[in-house]
Chain A
Amino acid sequence: MPSVRFRLNGVERDVDTDPDRMLLDVLRGSLAVTGPHFGCGAGECGACNVMVDGRAVSSCDMPLWSVAGKEVMTLEGLGSAEHPHPLQRAFIAEQALQCGYCVSGILISAAALLKQNPSPSKDDVKRALDGNLCRCGAHNRMVRAVLRAAAEMAAR
């Protein structure tokens, strides 16, 4: 079986598996990384979003081979309770979720936005998150949280 090599949350990984398997399945299955969530399997909801070379993409419809040699980041790579990313702090401060199932993908989309545009407007944030679905209706809190994180990062 050919192996696919890529960096996952800063660590070099070699995966011996069918390279046509979807990245989400490999992350959650072989690599036991459960931050990215299964939502639809068709790239339509954003629950499985991961960052690939700085861009937020859905991993449920992305074959493993397509990330060969690339840098993949999941929620686990964003920050931790000990070293939280400003977005994570802001989501807690704004109490920016209800059930939280979609949040992993939304944090990734937001992190990718802030990499490209450190001082986004409210509309920029909404556009960046438009591919992520939230069913509980926590959207406005999430937008506020992203703006709060951007402000915090700018003040540093």
Chain B
Amino acid sequence: MNAPPKLPVSLAANPLLSSWLTFSRDGHVLVSPGKVEIGQGIVTALAQIAADELDVDIARVRMVRASTAMSPNEGVTSGSLSIQQSGRALRHACAEIRRIFLVAASDRLGVAADTLSVEDGTISGPGNVRTSYWELAEDVDLKREATAGASAKAIAQRSLAGHSVERLDIPDKVFGRPPFIQDQVLPNMLYGRVLRPDNARASLIALKDETTRTTAGLVAIVRDGRFCGVVSETENGAEIALQALGKAAVWSEGDALPDENDLASFLKAEPSELTVIDTRPAPTPATKARTIRRQYTRPYIAHASIAPSCAIAQWTGDKVHVWTHSQGVYLLRADLALVLNLPVENITVEHMEGAGCYGHNAADDVALDAVLLARTAGGRPVRVQWSRQDEMSQAPFGAAMAIEIEADLDPAGEIVDWRHAVWSNGHAARPGRATQPALLAGFELEKPFPRMISSNPPQANGGGADRNAIPLYNFPAWTIESHRLLTMPIRTSALRTLGAQGNVFAIECFLDEIASERAEDPVAFRLRYLRDERARDVIRAAAKRANWKPERTPGIGHGIGFARYKNTGAYCAVVAEIEGDEDIRVRKLTLAVDVGEAINPDGVINQIEGGAIQATSWVLKERVRFDQQRITSTSWSDYPILRFTEVPDVEVELIQRSELDPVGAGEAAHGPVTAAIANAVFDCLGVRIRNLPINRDSLIAAME
């Protein structure tokens, strides 16, 4: 017997059909997913799905920004899950809504529902009878719960999925009609700025704010414990007041930060909590001839979005409306309710686009800043924006990691046992998931909330520091462990891929080393240890496209890297071509990717290209710098990222598998690209770089 059909997870959690979609009488479909646009093009892919399922022209689809006032609660837009979760729910909801309208049309037109067809929203049947979604909209009540019965169209009947529809948001962005929150001006709006110390743990000893009080346009100086800021009539006035306030503030020293040049020792010495992530016992006792052990590290990495974080808040009595580029409007609302000690019903959080978001950045923090400053604004909205310096030093970072892998080899040099251990702070301290808030200002108030120590999502959700630590390779035995730090001198949370970049770097470089010692081709070596045909296909496709392995040329190196993101998401293999002498330049990245059904192939390719280029930047350039007291990499000079002249050519081959459920593409490339570049450096220069970033310093250190 078949199991009863189940609703997609997101739809089961938000079954009210009208929360996903409504029709307007003027011929538009208003689609309101709970996931948000963060520069990844998700709203276009979701519009494609809705248009396909409903049989309407995509030009009729209006994508509504997520808001706690009405949208389905889809948690957070993260983990490359939007197309999987929101896409599936929306497809199902649209299929059911289409059916409901066909029944209503059948009643009105007096013909059987199964004789009706839909073309661009017009429903027609035998005898030339016709009506439309828009005509019926008033009579059809979508305030009803989704049922499991509706079935979506067969793949062959979809006309938009699988096609590279142009993104809906791009024209506004090239014509200067940007939807960015940083550009929004509400009537009577004021401007706020917050002052923060260089050391996040410093206390505010004194604030002599007489000069600040005289600055032009000043509306309020806000102080609550260590939290202090200004509100002004103009943005320029707010900047001037902030400068004055900075001179007026006397801060204590804070807690000491670790040694930036010895992260592995620091990570291994701190108190930590050990979790055994996975074990695979050996089926038969193997003969161990020798053991190889290697240690890999990656530094703290900054989000470093091009726009500093920004939010707008407006109080009306004891209710507050917040505009934010947070990844999760409901989660932010939950944390705001904790800090403000208000029921969630008093808080409306509405999404508005910011610049590219690569994880848990300062979007949520600045939202609380705006809410706190706006309390003094007499009901006027206040827009608060962080400085570049704060964006680079106060926002959470991607966590530094130390990874140790040991492999037991048999006399033939085959892997018989494998042990992988990670030391790292947790990779998640997102708002809305705990009984305490995760928002920066919450730790600074007169009655502060305890500073949240980041944790790791469970492996069932993809894991955190341990993400991609379990090898996809078919080794006979393994033990995978994660040591999560219980202290957090440097604030960490989710950054693109969480721990996967570090783990894939370690696994793929270690495998490369073992293959090289065996004098075996690294592609052939990987294929021997992989059973998963989709994994083998992307490796073979990338290798073929890159003419693996190109003839040796002095000064040029080639390397390969592979992973399936989270071991459940997109498959990605890449061949890197680098040029190396005293510096490393990445010339070309050739990738092959399998995301199952690619709803918008060009959107997938754009995400993979972007991921590959961002990963190249992480690998070659990025490292958060600090001394004993403060983060020192607070500008683009101190925290350089890859520039146009340094960007490699990127080629992406997409393996389209329309019959398989789609998965996200945004995080698939980072790990494989990191490893491929490191392996290419070995191919070129004969040195193994095991500590990121790969730059002149790490090359010299590795050669010594």
- Residue A126 lies at the interface, judged by CB distance under 8 Å to chain B: yes
Q: How far is the CB of B611 from chain A (nearest CB, A)?
A: 7
Asked whether, in the complex, the Cβ of B636 is within 8 Å of the Cβ of A136, the reply is no
How far does the alpha carbon of A99 sit from the alpha carbon of B37 in the complex, in Å? 9
Q: Specify the main secondary structure of chain A where it touches its partner.
A: loop
Is the beta-carbon distance between A92 and B171 smaller than 8 angstroms? yes
A118 and B143 alpha carbons, distance in the complex (Å): 57
Q: Which residues in B have their C-beta under 8 angstroms from that of A34? A: 176, 178, 183
8 A Cβ contacts from A1-48 to B: 21, 25, 28-29, 32, 34-35, 37-42, 44-45, 47
Interface string of A121-156 (1 = CB under 8 A from B): 001011101101111111111010000000000000
- A98–B236 CB distance below 8 A: no
CB contact under 8 A between A137 and B610, given known A88-B175, A92-B174, A97-B170: yes
Interface string of A104-128 (1 = CB under 8 A from B): 1001000000000000000101110
Beta-carbon contact of A133 and B643 below 8 Å: yes
Tell me, in angstroms, the Cα distance from A35 to B172 when the chains sit together.
11
**In the complex the two chains form, is A38's CB within 8 Å of B635's CB?**
no
Q: Indicate if the CB atoms of A41 and B388 lie closer than 8 Å.
A: yes
Closest to B184 in A: A34
List B contacts of A137 (CB < 8 A): 609-614, 617, 647
Tell me the bound Cα distance from A80 to B260 in angstroms: 49
Report chain B residues within 8 Å CB of A99. Answer: 38-39, 306, 353-357
Query: Residues of B contacting A74 with CB < 8 Å?
Result: 176
Cα–Cα, bound, A129→B646 (Å): 11
Contact A100 B169 (CB under 8 A): yes
**Residue in A76, A92, A98, A130 whose CB lies within 8 Å of B356:** A98
Task: Give A123 to B649 CA distance when docked, in angstroms.
Answer: 12
Q: Does A52 contact B (CB under 8 A)?
A: no
Beta-carbon contacts under 8 Å, B606-663 to A:
606-607, 609-614, 617, 635-637, 641-645, 647, 649-650
Chain B residue nearest in CB terms to A100: B173
CA distance A76 to B172 in the complex (A): 11
A95 in complex: contacting residue of B170, B236, B647, CB < 8 Å: B170
Is B602 on the interface with A (CB-CB < 8 A)? yes
**A residues near B642, Cβ cutoff 8 Å:** 139
Partner of A40, one of B388, B602, B610, B613: B388
A38 near B609 with CB under 8 A, answer: no
The answer on a CB contact under 8 Å between A44 and B636 is yes
Whether a CB of chain A sits under 8 angstroms from the CB of B342 is no
Contacts A91-B174, A95-B167 given: A133-B306 contact, CB under 8 Å? yes
* A133-B355 contact given A81-B175, A98-B39, A126-B647, CB 8 Å threshold: no
Instruction: Say yes or no: A138 contacts B606, CB within 8 Å.
Output: yes
Closest A residue, CB atoms, query B611: A137
Tally chain B residues at the interface, Cβ within 8 Å.
59
Beta-carbon contacts of B341-359 to A below 8 Å, as 1s and 0s? 0000000000001111110
* A65 interface residue (CB < 8 Å to B): no
CB contact list, A64-105 vs B, under 8 A:
74-76, 78-81, 84, 88, 91-92, 95, 97-104
Distance in angstroms between the alpha carbons of A102 and B239 in the assembled complex: 22
When distances are taken between beta carbons in the complex, the residues of chain A under 8 Å from B326 are none
Q: How many interface residues does chain A have, given as a range?
A: 35 or more
In contact, B645 and A127 (Cβ under 8 angstroms): yes
Q: Which of B353, B603, B610 contacts A136 (CB 8 A)?
A: B610
Question: Is the Cβ of A107 less than 8 Å from the Cβ of B174?
Answer: yes
Question: Are B236 and A40 in contact, with the CB atoms below 8 A?
Answer: no
Residue pair A140, B650 in contact (C-beta under 8 Å)? yes
Judged by a CB distance under 8 angstroms, whether B700 is at the interface is no
**Which residues of B have CB within 8 Å of A95?**
164, 166-167, 170, 602-603, 606
B644 near A132 (CB under 8 angstroms)?
Answer: yes
Taking a contact as CB atoms under 8 Å apart, the answer to whether B180 and A103 are in contact is no
User: A98 — nearest CB in chain B belongs to which residue?
Assistant: B39
Residue pair B306, A102 in contact (C-beta under 8 Å): yes
Taking a contact as CB atoms closer than 8 A, the residue among A28, A38, A78, A133 that contacts B641 in the complex is: A133
A29 to B612, Cβ gap below 8 A? no
CA of A32 to CA of B189, assembled, Å: 13
B306 in complex: contacting residue of A32, A91, A134, CB < 8 Å: A134
B653 vs chain A, min Cβ distance (A): 15
- B388 partner residues in chain A, CB cutoff 8 A: 39-42
Cβ distance B612 to chain A, nearest Cβ, rounded Å? 7
In the complex, whether B376 has a CB less than 8 A from a CB of chain A is no
Indicate if B424 sits at the interface (CB-CB under 8 A).
no
With known contacts A38-B385, A127-B645, A141-B606, A101–B169 Cβ distance under 8 A:
no
User: Among A35, A37, A42, A81, which residue has its beta carbon within 8 angstroms of that of B307?
Assistant: A37
Q: State whether A32 touches B185 (Cβ < 8 A).
A: yes
Question: Which of B170, B234, B611, B650 interacts with A100 by CB under 8 Å?
Answer: B170
Closest B residue, CB atoms, query A36:
B176
Find out whether the CB atom of B307 lies under 8 angstroms from the CB atom of A101.
Answer: yes
Beyond A39-B306, A40-B636, A137-B614, 13 additional contacts (C-beta under 8 Å) are A37-B178, A41-B387, A45-B636, A92-B170, A95-B164, A99-B39, A99-B354, A100-B39, A101-B307, A103-B173, A132-B644, A136-B610, A140-B649
25 A-B residue pairs with CB within 8 Å: A29-B235, A29-B236, A37-B182, A38-B308, A39-B388, A40-B636, A42-B635, A44-B635, A45-B636, A81-B175, A95-B167, A99-B306, A99-B356, A99-B357, A100-B173, A100-B178, A101-B356, A126-B645, A129-B644, A135-B358, A136-B39, A136-B610, A137-B610, A137-B611, A143-B644
Using a CB–CB cutoff of 8 Å, the interface residues on chain B facing chain A are: 38-41, 164, 166-167, 169-171, 173-176, 178, 180, 182-183, 185, 234-236, 239, 304-308, 353-358, 385, 387-388, 602-603, 606-607, 609-614, 617, 635-637, 641-645, 647, 649-650
- A interface list, Cβ under 8 A from B: 21, 25, 28-29, 32, 34-35, 37-42, 44-45, 47, 74-76, 78-81, 84, 88, 91-92, 95, 97-104, 107, 123, 125-127, 129-130, 132-141, 143
The 3 closest A-B pairs by CB, nearest first: A99-B39, A137-B613, A100-B173
